[in-house]
Homo-oligomer: A and B are copies of this chain.
Amino acid sequence: MNVVENLGNNRDFFKKHGIKHTKQRELIFEILKNSNKPLSAEEVFLKSKEVDDSISLSTIYRVLNTFIDKDIVVKLSIVEDNISMFELNRVDHGHHLLCIKCKKTVDIGHCPLGVYENSLEETTDFDIVGHKLEIYGYCPECKKKK
């Protein structure tokens, strides 16, 4: 699916979340939608530049933070590096397995924590809003090379 073709399709989505529709937000949203793995701000920036060369990195950060405020996006942080990764907050969410050697990520199906969170809410009286789960290790290839 080509990013450019879809620009403009998400007006209603933005309106629903009470934020203005701009071409930068449209673009960043499409990039995240079309990515099957979390992206760094820098990666989003580079992909954005392919379509709109004048976009700035601060816009990327501002848009991503707006999306986070609206719960459209979640922020992760890859294990040993100090950079944030962003991905759409998909309703039926799963998680990723991260290879700490080659940094490859693999989707793992359904999130195992739903039931657990319910019981936690009861025992702790917290209002649980979400969670971040990152599982890491060595992928089959890197495992062999060890």
Contact = CB atoms under 8 A, between A and B. Distances in A.
How many identical subunits does the complex contain?
A: 2
Interface string A46-71: 00000000000000000000001000
Contacts of A146: 127
A132 B133 contact: yes
Contact of A80 (B68, B125, B133): B68
A134 B120 CA distance: 13
Looking at A112, A139, A146, the one whose CB has the most chain B CB atoms below 10 A away is A112
Contacts of A132: 79, 132-134, 136
Nearest to A129: B137
Nearest to A107: B124
